[in-house]
Structure 1
Amino acid sequence: MIEITDIYKTFGENEVLKGISATFHPGKNNLIIGGSGSGKTTLLKCIVGLHEPTKGKVIFDSENFTDMDFEQRVPIRKQIGMLFQNSALFDSMTVEENIMFPLNLFTDMSAKEKLDRANFCLERVNLKEKNKLYPSELSGGMKKRVGIARAISMEPKYLFVDEPNSGLDPQTSIVIDELINEITREYKITTVMVTHDMNSVMGIGDHIIFLHQGKKWWEGTNKEIAHTDNQELNDFVFASKFTQAAKEKL
Protein backbone atom coordinates (compact mmCIF):
# COMPACT_ATOMS: atom_id res chain seq x y z
CA MET A 1 0.00 0.00 0.00
CA ILE A 2 1.14 3.54 -0.79
CA GLU A 3 -0.16 6.57 1.05
CA ILE A 4 0.44 10.15 -0.01
CA THR A 5 -0.47 12.94 2.38
CA ASP A 6 -0.85 16.64 1.60
CA ILE A 7 1.61 16.63 -1.32
CA TYR A 8 2.68 20.03 -2.63
CA LYS A 9 5.23 20.63 -5.37
CA THR A 10 6.48 24.02 -6.45
CA PHE A 11 8.90 24.89 -9.25
CA GLY A 12 10.03 28.46 -8.67
CA GLU A 13 6.80 30.43 -8.39
CA ASN A 14 4.74 27.76 -10.13
CA GLU A 15 2.77 25.62 -7.67
CA VAL A 16 2.06 22.43 -9.63
CA LEU A 17 0.62 20.22 -6.87
CA LYS A 18 -1.62 21.64 -4.16
CA GLY A 19 -2.18 19.38 -1.16
CA ILE A 20 -2.94 16.00 -2.72
CA SER A 21 -3.72 13.02 -0.47
CA ALA A 22 -4.64 9.49 -1.58
CA THR A 23 -4.18 5.80 -0.76
CA PHE A 24 -3.20 3.23 -3.39
CA HIS A 25 -3.99 -0.38 -2.54
CA PRO A 26 -2.25 -3.61 -3.65
CA GLY A 27 -3.86 -5.74 -6.31
CA LYS A 28 -5.62 -2.67 -7.70
CA ASN A 29 -5.16 -0.53 -10.81
CA ASN A 30 -4.78 2.94 -9.32
CA LEU A 31 -5.14 5.52 -12.10
CA ILE A 32 -4.18 9.20 -12.09
CA ILE A 33 -6.02 11.16 -14.77
CA GLY A 34 -6.41 14.80 -15.74
CA GLY A 35 -5.81 17.28 -18.51
CA SER A 36 -2.43 18.52 -19.70
CA GLY A 37 -0.71 20.53 -16.98
CA SER A 38 -2.90 19.12 -14.20
CA GLY A 39 0.12 17.64 -12.39
CA LYS A 40 -0.28 13.91 -13.17
CA THR A 41 3.31 13.10 -14.09
CA THR A 42 4.70 15.45 -11.44
CA LEU A 43 2.71 13.55 -8.80
CA LEU A 44 4.00 10.21 -10.10
CA LYS A 45 7.59 11.49 -9.96
CA CYS A 46 7.07 12.74 -6.40
CA ILE A 47 5.83 9.32 -5.31
CA VAL A 48 8.84 7.46 -6.75
CA GLY A 49 11.38 10.06 -5.60
CA LEU A 50 12.34 11.54 -8.97
CA HIS A 51 11.02 14.82 -7.57
CA GLU A 52 11.10 15.75 -3.90
CA PRO A 53 7.76 17.12 -2.64
CA THR A 54 7.91 20.70 -1.44
CA LYS A 55 5.62 19.57 1.37
CA GLY A 56 3.88 16.36 2.37
CA LYS A 57 4.66 12.67 2.87
CA VAL A 58 4.92 9.51 0.76
CA ILE A 59 4.52 6.29 2.75
CA PHE A 60 5.34 2.83 1.37
CA ASP A 61 3.79 0.18 3.62
CA SER A 62 4.19 2.28 6.78
CA GLU A 63 7.73 3.42 5.85
CA ASN A 64 8.15 7.18 5.43
CA PHE A 65 9.91 7.39 2.05
CA THR A 66 10.00 11.19 2.12
CA ASP A 67 12.16 11.40 5.24
CA MET A 68 14.73 8.84 4.00
CA ASP A 69 18.10 9.68 2.51
CA PHE A 70 19.37 8.07 -0.70
CA GLU A 71 20.82 4.97 0.97
CA GLN A 72 17.76 4.39 3.13
CA ARG A 73 15.56 4.48 0.04
CA VAL A 74 17.47 1.75 -1.82
CA PRO A 75 15.53 -1.24 -0.33
CA ILE A 76 12.22 0.35 -1.35
CA ARG A 77 13.50 1.32 -4.79
CA LYS A 78 14.46 -2.31 -5.39
CA GLN A 79 10.78 -3.15 -4.94
CA ILE A 80 9.68 -0.61 -7.56
CA GLY A 81 9.10 -1.42 -11.22
CA MET A 82 8.61 1.36 -13.78
CA LEU A 83 7.22 1.46 -17.30
CA PHE A 84 8.07 4.74 -18.95
CA GLN A 85 5.99 6.42 -21.64
CA ASN A 86 8.43 5.59 -24.46
CA SER A 87 9.39 2.21 -22.90
CA ALA A 88 12.97 3.58 -22.43
CA LEU A 89 14.66 0.48 -23.81
CA PHE A 90 18.37 0.56 -24.53
CA ASP A 91 18.74 0.46 -28.32
CA SER A 92 22.17 -1.19 -28.17
CA MET A 93 20.90 -4.06 -26.01
CA THR A 94 18.86 -7.08 -27.03
CA VAL A 95 15.46 -7.74 -25.50
CA GLU A 96 17.07 -10.24 -23.15
CA GLU A 97 19.80 -7.79 -22.09
CA ASN A 98 17.23 -5.03 -21.48
CA ILE A 99 15.24 -7.27 -19.15
CA MET A 100 18.34 -8.42 -17.27
CA PHE A 101 19.66 -4.86 -16.85
CA PRO A 102 18.08 -4.27 -13.39
CA LEU A 103 19.03 -7.80 -12.34
CA ASN A 104 22.66 -7.03 -13.17
CA LEU A 105 22.49 -3.80 -11.16
CA PHE A 106 20.61 -4.88 -8.06
CA THR A 107 20.99 -8.63 -7.55
CA ASP A 108 23.64 -11.28 -6.96
CA MET A 109 21.87 -13.80 -9.18
CA SER A 110 23.96 -16.13 -11.31
CA ALA A 111 23.98 -15.75 -15.11
CA LYS A 112 21.67 -18.75 -15.41
CA GLU A 113 19.25 -17.38 -12.82
CA LYS A 114 19.11 -14.03 -14.65
CA LEU A 115 18.46 -15.75 -17.97
CA ASP A 116 15.77 -17.95 -16.42
CA ARG A 117 14.10 -14.89 -14.95
CA ALA A 118 14.28 -13.03 -18.27
CA ASN A 119 12.74 -16.00 -20.07
CA PHE A 120 9.98 -16.24 -17.46
CA CYS A 121 9.15 -12.53 -17.84
CA LEU A 122 9.17 -12.75 -21.63
CA GLU A 123 6.82 -15.70 -21.54
CA ARG A 124 4.56 -13.83 -19.10
CA VAL A 125 4.17 -10.95 -21.60
CA ASN A 126 3.73 -13.34 -24.55
CA LEU A 127 7.12 -12.66 -26.15
CA LYS A 128 8.66 -16.08 -25.81
CA GLU A 129 11.83 -16.61 -27.88
CA LYS A 130 12.21 -12.91 -28.75
CA ASN A 131 15.37 -12.72 -26.60
CA LYS A 132 17.86 -11.81 -29.30
CA LEU A 133 15.86 -9.13 -31.08
CA TYR A 134 16.80 -5.47 -30.72
CA PRO A 135 14.29 -2.68 -29.95
CA SER A 136 14.52 -1.46 -33.57
CA GLU A 137 13.10 -4.82 -34.66
CA LEU A 138 10.02 -4.53 -32.42
CA SER A 139 6.62 -2.96 -32.96
CA GLY A 140 5.39 -0.29 -30.56
CA GLY A 141 3.23 -2.78 -28.68
CA MET A 142 6.09 -5.27 -28.41
CA LYS A 143 8.35 -2.56 -26.98
CA LYS A 144 5.75 -1.83 -24.31
CA ARG A 145 5.55 -5.52 -23.45
CA VAL A 146 9.35 -5.72 -23.16
CA GLY A 147 9.15 -2.66 -20.91
CA ILE A 148 6.61 -4.46 -18.73
CA ALA A 149 8.81 -7.58 -18.66
CA ARG A 150 11.74 -5.49 -17.46
CA ALA A 151 9.54 -3.71 -14.91
CA ILE A 152 8.48 -7.02 -13.32
CA SER A 153 11.90 -8.70 -13.54
CA MET A 154 12.69 -7.74 -9.94
CA GLU A 155 9.31 -9.04 -8.73
CA PRO A 156 8.21 -5.58 -7.61
CA LYS A 157 5.66 -4.78 -4.93
CA TYR A 158 4.95 -1.46 -6.63
CA LEU A 159 4.53 -0.78 -10.35
CA PHE A 160 4.48 2.74 -11.79
CA VAL A 161 3.27 3.23 -15.34
CA ASP A 162 3.37 6.49 -17.31
CA GLU A 163 0.99 6.72 -20.30
CA PRO A 164 1.41 3.07 -21.37
CA ASN A 165 -0.83 3.44 -24.43
CA SER A 166 0.77 6.56 -25.86
CA GLY A 167 1.33 6.07 -29.59
CA LEU A 168 -0.46 2.72 -29.75
CA ASP A 169 -3.50 1.77 -31.81
CA PRO A 170 -6.72 1.03 -29.85
CA GLN A 171 -6.46 -2.75 -30.23
CA THR A 172 -2.85 -2.87 -28.98
CA SER A 173 -3.79 -0.50 -26.14
CA ILE A 174 -6.39 -2.99 -24.93
CA VAL A 175 -3.76 -5.76 -24.98
CA ILE A 176 -1.40 -3.64 -22.85
CA ASP A 177 -4.18 -2.70 -20.41
CA GLU A 178 -5.20 -6.33 -19.99
CA LEU A 179 -1.59 -7.38 -19.42
CA ILE A 180 -1.05 -4.72 -16.74
CA ASN A 181 -4.36 -5.71 -15.13
CA GLU A 182 -3.47 -9.42 -15.11
CA ILE A 183 -0.01 -8.83 -13.62
CA THR A 184 -1.39 -6.45 -10.99
CA ARG A 185 -3.96 -8.96 -9.77
CA GLU A 186 -1.82 -12.07 -10.15
CA TYR A 187 1.08 -10.71 -8.10
CA LYS A 188 -1.00 -8.32 -5.93
CA ILE A 189 1.15 -5.39 -7.03
CA THR A 190 0.27 -1.83 -6.06
CA THR A 191 0.01 -0.36 -9.56
CA VAL A 192 -0.12 3.40 -10.12
CA MET A 193 -0.78 4.48 -13.70
CA VAL A 194 -0.86 7.93 -15.27
CA THR A 195 -3.12 7.94 -18.31
CA HIS A 196 -5.32 10.11 -20.49
CA ASP A 197 -6.84 7.08 -22.24
CA MET A 198 -10.53 6.81 -21.31
CA ASN A 199 -10.61 3.22 -22.57
CA SER A 200 -8.04 2.39 -19.88
CA VAL A 201 -10.03 4.30 -17.28
CA MET A 202 -13.29 2.52 -18.04
CA GLY A 203 -11.64 -0.84 -18.65
CA ILE A 204 -9.31 -1.32 -15.68
CA GLY A 205 -9.79 1.69 -13.39
CA ASP A 206 -10.31 0.14 -9.95
CA HIS A 207 -9.37 3.38 -8.20
CA ILE A 208 -9.14 6.71 -10.00
CA ILE A 209 -8.07 10.15 -8.89
CA PHE A 210 -8.78 13.08 -11.18
CA LEU A 211 -6.45 16.08 -10.95
CA HIS A 212 -7.53 19.56 -11.97
CA GLN A 213 -5.30 22.62 -11.66
CA GLY A 214 -2.96 20.76 -9.32
CA LYS A 215 -5.66 19.59 -6.92
CA LYS A 216 -7.43 16.29 -6.37
CA TRP A 217 -10.80 17.16 -7.86
CA TRP A 218 -12.51 13.76 -7.75
CA GLU A 219 -11.86 10.20 -6.54
CA GLY A 220 -13.72 6.98 -7.23
CA THR A 221 -14.02 3.88 -9.43
CA ASN A 222 -14.64 3.41 -13.14
CA LYS A 223 -18.24 2.49 -12.32
CA GLU A 224 -18.77 5.71 -10.37
CA ILE A 225 -17.14 7.93 -12.99
CA ALA A 226 -20.04 7.43 -15.40
CA HIS A 227 -22.53 8.84 -12.89
CA THR A 228 -20.59 11.76 -11.41
CA ASP A 229 -21.96 15.29 -11.37
CA ASN A 230 -18.44 16.75 -11.16
CA GLN A 231 -18.48 19.26 -14.02
CA GLU A 232 -14.74 19.40 -14.64
CA LEU A 233 -14.50 15.61 -14.68
CA ASN A 234 -17.44 15.35 -17.06
CA ASP A 235 -15.84 17.92 -19.35
CA PHE A 236 -12.62 15.87 -19.36
CA VAL A 237 -14.34 12.51 -19.88
CA PHE A 238 -16.65 13.62 -22.68
CA ALA A 239 -13.97 15.70 -24.38
CA SER A 240 -11.76 12.59 -24.42
CA LYS A 241 -14.56 10.48 -25.85
CA PHE A 242 -15.34 13.10 -28.48
CA THR A 243 -11.70 13.34 -29.49
CA GLN A 244 -11.46 9.55 -29.89
CA ALA A 245 -14.72 9.40 -31.87
CA ALA A 246 -13.55 12.21 -34.13
CA LYS A 247 -10.24 10.44 -34.79
CA GLU A 248 -12.04 7.24 -35.73
CA LYS A 249 -14.11 9.11 -38.35
CA LEU A 250 -11.02 10.51 -40.10
Structure 2
Amino acid sequence: MIEIKDIEKSFGSNTVLKGISGIFKEGLTNLIIGGSGSGKTTLLKCMIGLHTPEKGSVQYDGREFIDMDFEQRIEIRKEIGMLFQGSALFDSMTVEENIMFPLNMFTDHAFKEKLERVNFCLERVNLEGKNKLFPAELSGGMKKRVGIARAIAMNPKYLFVDEPNSGLDPKTSIVIDELIKEITEEYNTTTIVVTHDMNSVMGIGDYILFLHEGKKFWEGSNKEIAHTDIAELNDFVFASRFMKAAKKNF
Protein backbone atom coordinates (compact mmCIF):
# COMPACT_ATOMS: atom_id res chain seq x y z
CA MET A 1 0.00 0.00 0.00
CA ILE A 2 1.14 3.54 -0.77
CA GLU A 3 -0.41 6.45 1.08
CA ILE A 4 0.09 10.09 0.15
CA LYS A 5 -0.96 12.94 2.42
CA ASP A 6 -1.32 16.65 1.61
CA ILE A 7 1.23 16.69 -1.22
CA GLU A 8 2.09 20.19 -2.38
CA LYS A 9 4.53 20.96 -5.18
CA SER A 10 5.43 24.26 -6.86
CA PHE A 11 7.73 25.33 -9.65
CA GLY A 12 8.58 28.95 -9.03
CA SER A 13 5.31 30.82 -8.52
CA ASN A 14 3.28 28.03 -10.14
CA THR A 15 1.70 25.68 -7.59
CA VAL A 16 1.13 22.40 -9.46
CA LEU A 17 -0.11 20.17 -6.62
CA LYS A 18 -2.38 21.59 -3.92
CA GLY A 19 -2.73 19.22 -0.96
CA ILE A 20 -3.24 15.85 -2.70
CA SER A 21 -4.07 12.83 -0.53
CA GLY A 22 -4.98 9.25 -1.44
CA ILE A 23 -4.44 5.57 -0.65
CA PHE A 24 -3.26 3.15 -3.34
CA LYS A 25 -3.87 -0.45 -2.28
CA GLU A 26 -2.04 -3.64 -3.18
CA GLY A 27 -3.62 -6.00 -5.69
CA LEU A 28 -5.52 -3.13 -7.35
CA THR A 29 -4.95 -1.08 -10.48
CA ASN A 30 -4.92 2.44 -9.05
CA LEU A 31 -5.35 5.17 -11.66
CA ILE A 32 -4.40 8.84 -11.54
CA ILE A 33 -6.39 10.68 -14.19
CA GLY A 34 -6.88 14.26 -15.32
CA GLY A 35 -6.38 16.58 -18.25
CA SER A 36 -3.11 18.06 -19.44
CA GLY A 37 -1.62 20.26 -16.73
CA SER A 38 -3.71 18.73 -13.96
CA GLY A 39 -0.60 17.56 -12.08
CA LYS A 40 -0.87 13.80 -12.48
CA THR A 41 2.66 13.21 -13.83
CA THR A 42 4.12 15.62 -11.26
CA LEU A 43 2.37 13.63 -8.53
CA LEU A 44 3.85 10.38 -9.84
CA LYS A 45 7.32 11.94 -9.88
CA CYS A 46 6.88 13.10 -6.28
CA MET A 47 5.92 9.56 -5.30
CA ILE A 48 9.06 8.00 -6.78
CA GLY A 49 11.47 10.75 -5.72
CA LEU A 50 12.11 12.52 -9.03
CA HIS A 51 10.52 15.62 -7.49
CA THR A 52 10.58 16.67 -3.84
CA PRO A 53 7.33 18.22 -2.63
CA GLU A 54 7.44 21.29 -0.41
CA LYS A 55 4.89 19.69 1.88
CA GLY A 56 3.31 16.32 2.48
CA SER A 57 4.00 12.65 3.06
CA VAL A 58 4.59 9.59 0.85
CA GLN A 59 4.50 6.28 2.73
CA TYR A 60 5.35 2.87 1.32
CA ASP A 61 3.68 0.40 3.67
CA GLY A 62 4.19 2.82 6.53
CA ARG A 63 7.74 3.81 5.57
CA GLU A 64 8.09 7.58 5.08
CA PHE A 65 9.85 8.02 1.73
CA ILE A 66 10.32 11.78 1.57
CA ASP A 67 12.40 11.94 4.76
CA MET A 68 14.72 9.12 3.71
CA ASP A 69 18.33 9.77 2.73
CA PHE A 70 19.81 8.52 -0.56
CA GLU A 71 20.86 5.11 0.75
CA GLN A 72 17.49 4.46 2.40
CA ARG A 73 15.66 5.38 -0.78
CA ILE A 74 17.67 2.81 -2.74
CA GLU A 75 16.08 0.06 -0.65
CA ILE A 76 12.61 1.32 -1.60
CA ARG A 77 13.57 1.74 -5.26
CA LYS A 78 14.61 -1.91 -5.38
CA GLU A 79 10.94 -2.69 -4.72
CA ILE A 80 9.69 -0.36 -7.48
CA GLY A 81 9.06 -1.22 -11.13
CA MET A 82 8.56 1.62 -13.60
CA LEU A 83 7.12 1.69 -17.12
CA PHE A 84 7.82 5.10 -18.65
CA GLN A 85 5.55 6.77 -21.18
CA GLY A 86 7.74 6.07 -24.21
CA SER A 87 8.89 2.68 -22.81
CA ALA A 88 12.40 4.26 -22.45
CA LEU A 89 14.22 1.23 -23.79
CA PHE A 90 17.95 1.55 -24.47
CA ASP A 91 18.24 1.54 -28.27
CA SER A 92 21.75 0.10 -28.23
CA MET A 93 20.71 -2.85 -26.05
CA THR A 94 18.85 -5.98 -27.05
CA VAL A 95 15.53 -6.92 -25.49
CA GLU A 96 17.39 -9.31 -23.19
CA GLU A 97 19.90 -6.65 -22.13
CA ASN A 98 17.15 -4.09 -21.49
CA ILE A 99 15.24 -6.44 -19.19
CA MET A 100 18.43 -7.54 -17.46
CA PHE A 101 19.48 -3.94 -16.77
CA PRO A 102 17.81 -3.57 -13.33
CA LEU A 103 19.04 -7.04 -12.34
CA ASN A 104 22.61 -5.99 -13.16
CA MET A 105 22.15 -2.75 -11.23
CA PHE A 106 20.52 -4.04 -8.06
CA THR A 107 21.54 -7.70 -7.70
CA ASP A 108 24.70 -9.80 -7.69
CA HIS A 109 23.02 -12.87 -9.15
CA ALA A 110 24.92 -15.10 -11.56
CA PHE A 111 24.26 -14.52 -15.26
CA LYS A 112 22.40 -17.83 -15.58
CA GLU A 113 19.99 -16.83 -12.83
CA LYS A 114 19.42 -13.40 -14.36
CA LEU A 115 18.82 -14.92 -17.77
CA GLU A 116 16.24 -17.28 -16.29
CA ARG A 117 14.43 -14.28 -14.83
CA VAL A 118 14.58 -12.44 -18.18
CA ASN A 119 13.11 -15.43 -19.98
CA PHE A 120 10.39 -15.77 -17.36
CA CYS A 121 9.44 -12.10 -17.78
CA LEU A 122 9.43 -12.40 -21.57
CA GLU A 123 7.17 -15.41 -21.32
CA ARG A 124 4.87 -13.50 -18.97
CA VAL A 125 4.37 -10.74 -21.56
CA ASN A 126 4.08 -13.21 -24.45
CA LEU A 127 7.40 -12.34 -26.09
CA GLU A 128 9.23 -15.64 -25.78
CA GLY A 129 12.30 -15.89 -27.96
CA LYS A 130 12.61 -12.17 -28.67
CA ASN A 131 15.77 -11.85 -26.57
CA LYS A 132 18.16 -10.77 -29.32
CA LEU A 133 15.96 -8.22 -31.06
CA PHE A 134 16.70 -4.52 -30.74
CA PRO A 135 14.02 -1.90 -29.93
CA ALA A 136 14.09 -0.63 -33.53
CA GLU A 137 12.87 -4.06 -34.63
CA LEU A 138 9.80 -3.97 -32.35
CA SER A 139 6.30 -2.59 -32.86
CA GLY A 140 4.93 -0.01 -30.43
CA GLY A 141 2.94 -2.64 -28.56
CA MET A 142 5.94 -4.95 -28.31
CA LYS A 143 8.05 -2.12 -26.90
CA LYS A 144 5.43 -1.54 -24.21
CA ARG A 145 5.46 -5.24 -23.33
CA VAL A 146 9.26 -5.25 -23.13
CA GLY A 147 8.96 -2.20 -20.87
CA ILE A 148 6.56 -4.12 -18.64
CA ALA A 149 8.91 -7.12 -18.62
CA ARG A 150 11.75 -4.87 -17.46
CA ALA A 151 9.50 -3.24 -14.86
CA ILE A 152 8.64 -6.61 -13.28
CA ALA A 153 12.16 -8.08 -13.55
CA MET A 154 12.86 -7.33 -9.88
CA ASN A 155 9.47 -8.76 -8.84
CA PRO A 156 8.41 -5.34 -7.53
CA LYS A 157 5.96 -4.66 -4.73
CA TYR A 158 5.09 -1.35 -6.37
CA LEU A 159 4.55 -0.80 -10.09
CA PHE A 160 4.31 2.68 -11.64
CA VAL A 161 3.04 3.06 -15.20
CA ASP A 162 3.01 6.40 -17.05
CA GLU A 163 0.56 6.68 -19.98
CA PRO A 164 0.92 3.03 -21.09
CA ASN A 165 -1.35 3.43 -24.12
CA SER A 166 0.19 6.57 -25.55
CA GLY A 167 0.66 6.10 -29.30
CA LEU A 168 -1.04 2.69 -29.42
CA ASP A 169 -4.08 1.63 -31.41
CA PRO A 170 -7.24 0.73 -29.43
CA LYS A 171 -6.80 -3.05 -29.81
CA THR A 172 -3.20 -2.99 -28.59
CA SER A 173 -4.17 -0.65 -25.76
CA ILE A 174 -6.67 -3.20 -24.47
CA VAL A 175 -3.96 -5.90 -24.55
CA ILE A 176 -1.60 -3.68 -22.51
CA ASP A 177 -4.35 -2.79 -20.01
CA GLU A 178 -5.28 -6.42 -19.50
CA LEU A 179 -1.63 -7.39 -19.04
CA ILE A 180 -1.12 -4.69 -16.38
CA LYS A 181 -4.23 -5.82 -14.51
CA GLU A 182 -3.28 -9.51 -14.72
CA ILE A 183 0.21 -8.85 -13.35
CA THR A 184 -1.19 -6.64 -10.58
CA GLU A 185 -3.59 -9.31 -9.39
CA GLU A 186 -1.20 -12.22 -9.93
CA TYR A 187 1.62 -10.71 -7.85
CA ASN A 188 -0.57 -8.59 -5.51
CA THR A 189 1.32 -5.51 -6.68
CA THR A 190 0.45 -1.97 -5.70
CA THR A 191 0.06 -0.56 -9.21
CA ILE A 192 -0.33 3.14 -10.04
CA VAL A 193 -1.19 4.07 -13.62
CA VAL A 194 -1.17 7.66 -14.89
CA THR A 195 -3.55 7.94 -17.84
CA HIS A 196 -6.06 10.09 -19.66
CA ASP A 197 -7.48 7.10 -21.58
CA MET A 198 -11.12 6.52 -20.64
CA ASN A 199 -11.00 2.99 -22.03
CA SER A 200 -8.35 2.23 -19.41
CA VAL A 201 -10.41 3.97 -16.73
CA MET A 202 -13.51 1.91 -17.47
CA GLY A 203 -11.59 -1.30 -18.12
CA ILE A 204 -9.13 -1.55 -15.22
CA GLY A 205 -9.84 1.33 -12.82
CA ASP A 206 -10.24 -0.35 -9.43
CA TYR A 207 -9.42 2.94 -7.68
CA ILE A 208 -9.34 6.27 -9.51
CA LEU A 209 -7.94 9.58 -8.32
CA PHE A 210 -9.12 12.49 -10.49
CA LEU A 211 -7.02 15.67 -10.48
CA HIS A 212 -8.09 19.03 -11.82
CA GLU A 213 -5.92 22.16 -11.69
CA GLY A 214 -3.68 20.57 -9.10
CA LYS A 215 -6.45 19.52 -6.72
CA LYS A 216 -8.14 16.21 -5.96
CA PHE A 217 -11.68 16.62 -7.23
CA TRP A 218 -12.90 13.02 -6.94
CA GLU A 219 -11.90 9.47 -6.01
CA GLY A 220 -13.73 6.19 -6.52
CA SER A 221 -13.97 3.15 -8.80
CA ASN A 222 -14.81 2.74 -12.48
CA LYS A 223 -18.24 1.52 -11.41
CA GLU A 224 -18.89 4.83 -9.66
CA ILE A 225 -17.42 7.28 -12.13
CA ALA A 226 -20.46 7.33 -14.42
CA HIS A 227 -22.76 8.35 -11.57
CA THR A 228 -20.88 11.35 -10.21
CA ASP A 229 -22.27 14.87 -10.25
CA ILE A 230 -18.82 16.50 -10.26
CA ALA A 231 -18.96 18.86 -13.24
CA GLU A 232 -15.19 18.90 -13.83
CA LEU A 233 -15.04 15.11 -13.89
CA ASN A 234 -18.03 14.82 -16.22
CA ASP A 235 -16.42 17.34 -18.56
CA PHE A 236 -13.21 15.30 -18.57
CA VAL A 237 -15.04 12.01 -19.21
CA PHE A 238 -17.11 13.49 -22.03
CA ALA A 239 -14.16 15.25 -23.66
CA SER A 240 -11.98 12.12 -23.46
CA ARG A 241 -14.64 9.94 -25.08
CA PHE A 242 -15.37 12.56 -27.77
CA MET A 243 -11.70 12.89 -28.70
CA LYS A 244 -11.30 9.10 -28.78
CA ALA A 245 -14.27 8.75 -31.13
CA ALA A 246 -13.09 11.62 -33.31
CA LYS A 247 -9.62 10.10 -33.72
CA LYS A 248 -11.13 6.71 -34.55
CA ASN A 249 -13.44 8.17 -37.22
CA PHE A 250 -10.65 10.34 -38.65
TM-score, structure 1 as length reference: 0.99
Matches within 5 A, 1:68-217: 68-217=68-217
Equivalent in the alignment of 1:57: 57
Q: Deviations over 1:90-137 (max 9, x none)?
A: 000000000000000100110000000000000000000000000000
1:244: Cα distance to partner?
1.0
Secondary structure at the residue paired with 1:88? coil
Q: Deviations over 1:4-50 (max 9, x none)?
A: 00000011111000000000000000000001000000000000001
1:55: Cα distance to partner?
0.4
Secondary structure at the residue paired with 2:193? strand
Secondary structure at the residue paired with 2:223? helix
Are residues 1:19 and 2:19 paired? yes
Q: What is the distance in 2 between the residues matched to 1:245 and 1:90?
A: 34
Are residues 1:33 and 2:30 paired? no
Secondary structure at the residue paired with 1:35? coil
1:160: Cα distance to partner?
0.3
Q: What is the distance in 2 between the residues matched to 1:217 and 1:60?
A: 24
Q: What is the distance in 1 between the residues matched to 2:228 and 2:47?
A: 27
Secondary structure at the residue paired with 1:216? strand
Q: What is the distance in 2 between the residues matched to 1:77 and 1:249?
A: 42
Aligned length: 250
Q: Which runs of 5+ in 1 are unaligned?
A: none
1:71: Cα distance to partner?
0.7
Secondary structure at the residue paired with 1:226? helix
TM-score, structure 2 as length reference: 0.99
Equivalent in the alignment of 1:229: 229
What amino acid sits opposite 1:221 in the alignment? S
Q: What is the distance in 2 between the residues matched to 1:87 and 1:247?
A: 23
Secondary structure at the residue paired with 2:81? strand
Q: What is the distance in 2 between the residues matched to 1:98 and 1:220?
A: 36
Equivalent in the alignment of 1:220: 220
1:245: Cα distance to partner?
1.2
Q: What is the distance in 1 between the residues matched to 2:15 and 2:77?
A: 27
What amino acid sits opposite 2:173 in the alignment? S
Q: What is the distance in 2 between the residues matched to 1:244 and 1:16?
A: 27
Equivalent in the alignment of 1:247: 247
Secondary structure at the residue paired with 1:154? coil
Q: What is the distance in 1 between the residues matched to 2:168 and 2:120?
A: 25
Secondary structure at the residue paired with 2:16? strand
Secondary structure at the residue paired with 1:222? coil
Matches within 5 A, 1:5-16: 5-16=5-16
Once the two structures are aligned, what percentage of the paired residues are identical?
Answer: 77
1:248: Cα distance to partner?
1.7
Equivalent in the alignment of 1:44: 44
1:247: Cα distance to partner?
1.5
Q: Deviations over 1:159-207 (max 9, x none)?
A: 0000000000000000000000000000000000100000000000000
1:249: Cα distance to partner?
1.6
1:72: Cα distance to partner?
1.0
RMSD over aligned Cα atoms = 0.4
Secondary structure at the residue paired with 1:200? helix
Secondary structure at the residue paired with 2:3? strand
Q: What is the distance in 2 between the residues matched to 1:246 and 1:87?
A: 26
